[in-house]
Structure 1
């Protein structure tokens, strides 16, 4: 006898077919995805969180192997989907539909910003097959780019994956605490994800007192964000991975990973099916809501006389022009904030030069004295001092680059969150205009991805040697040692000052260039969302206008068809709510 799970699953499959038949002229990409999900019983366990929280290390710890690339800088730029396979292999799926098998060791070339900057390879996602018990029975573990990490490829994938999340693992860390982007992300997650595991990662980096404080703080924030009590699993993915790879039970125990794994396995064994059905129902309800909105607007507009409709459209366009002023104001705010960001960068570079250059010159003198005391030849002395200068410059600017890029990213994040909120208000205003004009209840045609733009900034530190420097080396080697030493020291002082100044300029140029690039991209996406909402409403109104040139019979048939579609999707909505109740009893 079939289980209730099977009956509900079959019923949802029939609903997908009916929805496709109600409006066959639409492509229904979402419905095709839901159909495939039902057929394959795909269960997406998505690992989410802000960048640099250790998500990839966490996934590796679950698998007990170093499969995904990890680093101390924001790294993941492309979604990686892990699914069960008897043999370890990886497939790269491109945006143009091609697929290519690659070695596991080659994955970083496709999924990281460093290996695949700005997604120049046009990768859609990378699929990894691995023989893990976690990946059996249709479970797919999905590693997403962190909230706050925007790379210039086809979409903001962290938010784009929300509709496909059946259960989520949200990673935070003991230090630093939750950011504004994580608060916003959690608010958005609530509408898509029924089951969330919360992990407080990197507990190996704090002592017990700080851990207790971080745990209490995070629990309180999550409780406020979600409106309910939550359980947080404090652990160290790094220690867990090391413990599994090295078969070190002491290290694995210290990681506190075992408790989380026990509960995750129990969930996958006992509750996965229920969560799967809930996710499918939620996706179908969102589709039904969108279809209902479009039908209602077109239907109400078509009922009006030509004169009435023209007046309504004119009123809508008149008020829509006022909305454009809000869009212009948003552009003005953005320009002002970016100017402040530039000033902040200039001040940080000034302070860097003021504090670090004297220290570098002091270290130069010490290193020079030490090397002279070793009795090096002038050629050896020059070579080692060149290496010293390069190493010191690299050290200072590598630290500054990482610190400053994160600071800039945080600042951009705050700016973009504000603009995303303003854009959402504009969209809501546009939809409210249509609702008020046609006396119907509508919701936005689209929502703004609130994912904000952060990027890891890179620049080339080392320069190729120039011929002049090589000639100077050979000339000085023929001079008396006491003269050559003085020349070398003076040259090194000048070199370190010159290179410091040039690298300040290089860092400034690179950061500002990337800020400009991500800002233009973010501005474009926000404008697209506003334009999409306007065009969707205008298209529905234009379809209604087109009816006015048709015969009364044609108008009657169209209105009847729209009414039938509305009735059909409303019946499906009721059925979906019924299935929701049945799922709760499983």
Structure 2
């Protein structure tokens, strides 16, 4: 890997983030929460609390780099820290979140999903974090950390390289979505051609509801004109401010490749670095504190639900708990069957959307086809017959250009309508899902009421967007050798009309194919959203069953020790709940 120097514009980052006493206060509360989690036997919660306590005590906060794949996120992060540490490429690269943090020397490690850490050589990082060598994260890597002696990171700021949205790998988008609760600030990387897309917008909106600090960058400025970048910056700022209902500040135009190769104009590079300096100086302590508070809230809610279930299991007779769990499993089994009824409601929504776009498409094609054929015929008058194969190529080219001019403006309108319809049906899916869970609560699964934020509009409904029509579908099949030979002689024997008719048919095919894309894309996104929502509901139901069974197992062991042990256990649970609530109130 090649190293390059960026220190000349990164002075004085090491003196910002004092007041470690505030960080330690948050860390001590998290460590106490970890102890309470261990008392409840909730080791995964305890481990997460300990890890969060460590980063709070060290004053570390996460700036996640988010955006669609091929935006140059990894290249930008390499340019910012001054070292080529994260892999880059022309295909979707990042498969798992990679945290880039300060260290005295370059080194890397990966965390496996079993919780273990594995120190690796820097040159081996791509084996674990790239889509090419770890497709869909088959190696079960939870995350990676890269330690870099970068002045920019010396005050606690950590960059996170997230998997890109909108790639063909569905797991990438899900991984990035799952990381949202850990984000403290965001570096949003967009482009000028195309500008911010539907899935990017949905993610930035979700992140923007959680964090205040967003740094917006238009990368690859060397590949677009000033006018294109200005239009993209204006569009990005306006649409985000409308969605987030607040100002988002400047959009920086840079080229990460130029900075790595130390060529070209600086553009907004120094202003971008100054933006990170101000982020550390003005917001660093608050970001760490906010991360602590979010973690305490989320983990405390999980522990309170476990404590409540444990107390109920101790207070009711064992036989009743056994019957209750048996009934719960039966109810969950019935719920699985009832999911089919929910599926019918989902299908009705999908059919409604399908009919909506089919009707719009038919109306457009009905008018566009006649107009396109007329335009094609006008183009045809200027074509000299000449050599048969050349004549066919020119006519096919005309067909492509005519269909492109007709369809592209319509696709832009349909893209916006598609996003509106998708968001509406996504909200409807959540409404149906929550209604389904409420029926289960009324039917006896009262534990659902204890599960915080069971379903909401941000869960299970973020799938990759395919609303990008720049690559217009319109390539004609190359003629076979026999067709080419026939084309040579057709004009000589008066067969020009055959080539012309085939070109007209190709024009109609282009209109039909390209106008069906919106409908297909929206329906595919809806299907993926539906599948993900159903998975979330099933996970929720089985988590309830698992917690109840573990509570019953603990209750059996305590009851074997007699009534005094039961009273002591109930008192212990009450004390744990009071301690958790005290930790939450101490903010």
TM range (shorter): 0.5 to 0.7
Equivalent residues, number: 549
Cα distance in 1 between the residues matched to 2:207 and 2:374:
52
Cα distance in 2 between the residues matched to 1:365 and 1:431:
66
Which residue does the alignment assign to 1:564? 572
- Give the CA deviation at 1:494: 3.3
Which residue does the alignment assign to 2:248? 232
Which residue does the alignment assign to 1:491? 502
Contact 1:87 1:131 in 2 (8 A): yes
- Structure-2 change in CA distance of 1:529 and 1:434 (3 Å): same
Q: Of residues 410, 413, 429 in structure 1, which corresponds to 2:423?
A: 413
> Within 5 Å, which residues of 2 pair with 1:169-180?
none
Which residue does the alignment assign to 2:182? 164
Between 1:317-326 and 1:557-566, the stretch displaced more is: 317-326
Unaligned runs of 5+ in 2: 1-17, 220-225
Q: Of residues 381, 396, 421 in structure 1, which corresponds to 2:391?
A: 381
Cα distance in 1 between the residues matched to 2:508 and 2:415:
23
Which residue does the alignment assign to 1:267? 279
Between 1:302-311 and 1:120-129, the stretch displaced more is: 120-129
- Give the CA deviation at 1:295: 1.6
- Structure-2 change in CA distance of 1:122 and 1:465 (3 Å): farther
Cα distance in 1 between the residues matched to 2:198 and 2:522:
23
CA RMSD between the two structures = 6.0
Output one character per residue of 1:506-564: Cα deviation in whole Å (capped at 9) or x when no partner: x489547734641442243342244245425643664478569x54x356535534532
Q: Aligned with 1:279: secondary structure? A: helix
- The TM-score, its normalising length taken from structure 2, stands at 0.67
- Give the CA deviation at 1:340: 1.4
Are positions 1:455 and 2:471 aligned together? no
Q: Aligned with 2:501: secondary structure? A: helix
Which residue does the alignment assign to 2:160? 142
Which residue does the alignment assign to 1:153? 171
Which residue does the alignment assign to 1:584? none
- Structure-2 change in CA distance of 1:494 and 1:183 (3 Å): closer
- Give the CA deviation at 1:347: 2.5
Contact 1:295 1:565 in 2 (8 A): yes
Q: Of residues 280, 297, 312 in structure 1, which corresponds to 2:309?
A: 297
Q: Of residues 95, 100, 110 in structure 1, which corresponds to 2:131?
A: 110
Cα distance in 2 between the residues matched to 1:127 and 1:331:
41
Q: Of residues 344, 356, 372 in structure 1, which corresponds to 2:384?
A: 372
Which residue does the alignment assign to 1:583? none
- Give the CA deviation at 1:89: 11
Cα distance in 2 between the residues matched to 1:493 and 1:372:
17
- Give the CA deviation at 1:262: 3.9
- Give the CA deviation at 1:350: 2.1
Contact 2:136 2:169 in 1 (8 A): yes
> Within 5 Å, which residues of 2 pair with 1:349-364?
349-364=361-376
Contact 1:423 1:526 in 2 (8 A): no
Contact 1:53 1:172 in 2 (8 A): no
Which residue does the alignment assign to 1:347? 359
Output one character per residue of 1:309-367: Cα deviation in whole Å (capped at 9) or x when no partner: 57877997899899889966643332111001211332343244334434443454344
- Give the CA deviation at 1:501: 4.3
Q: Aligned with 1:153: secondary structure? A: helix
- The TM-score, its normalising length taken from structure 1, stands at 0.67
Cα distance in 2 between the residues matched to 1:154 and 1:183:
15
Cα distance in 2 between the residues matched to 1:401 and 1:179:
14
Contact 2:113 2:142 in 1 (8 A): yes
Contact 2:106 2:147 in 1 (8 A): yes
- Structure-2 change in CA distance of 1:317 and 1:385 (3 Å): closer
Contact 1:13 1:38 in 2 (8 A): no
Which residue does the alignment assign to 1:4? 21
Are positions 1:539 and 2:556 aligned together? no
Cα distance in 2 between the residues matched to 1:150 and 1:418:
26
- Structure-2 change in CA distance of 1:107 and 1:231 (3 Å): farther
Cα distance in 2 between the residues matched to 1:181 and 1:498:
31
Q: Aligned with 1:478: secondary structure? A: helix
- Give the CA deviation at 1:44: 0.5
- Give the CA deviation at 1:268: 0.6
> Within 5 Å, which residues of 2 pair with 1:169-208?
193=211, 195-197=212-214
Between 1:401-410 and 1:562-571, the stretch displaced more is: 401-410
Output one character per residue of 1:288-308: Cα deviation in whole Å (capped at 9) or x when no partner: 332222122221232124576
Q: Aligned with 2:452: secondary structure? A: coil
- Structure-2 change in CA distance of 1:420 and 1:463 (3 Å): same
Cα distance in 1 between the residues matched to 2:164 and 2:461:
10
Which residue does the alignment assign to 2:43? 26
- Give the CA deviation at 1:25: 6.6
Q: Of residues 478, 485, 491 in structure 2, which corresponds to 1:474?
A: 485
Unaligned runs of 5+ in 1: 224-229, 581-586
Q: Aligned with 2:464: secondary structure? A: coil
> Within 5 Å, which residues of 2 pair with 1:6-155?
7-8=24-25, 11-12=28-29, 14-15=31-32, 18-19=35-36, 21-24=38-41, 26-28=43-45, 29-31=47-49, 33-34=51-52, 37=55, 42-47=60-65, 56=73, 63=80, 81=98, 83=100, 110=131, 133-142=151-160, 144=162, 152-153=170-171
Contact 1:43 1:138 in 2 (8 A): yes
- Structure-2 change in CA distance of 1:312 and 1:488 (3 Å): closer
Cα distance in 2 between the residues matched to 1:84 and 1:164:
15
- Structure-2 change in CA distance of 1:3 and 1:520 (3 Å): closer
- Structure-2 change in CA distance of 1:485 and 1:431 (3 Å): closer
Contact 2:325 2:545 in 1 (8 A): no
Contact 1:378 1:477 in 2 (8 A): yes
Which residue does the alignment assign to 2:538? 528
- Structure-2 change in CA distance of 1:110 and 1:178 (3 Å): closer
Contact 2:237 2:248 in 1 (8 A): no
- Give the CA deviation at 1:567: 2.0
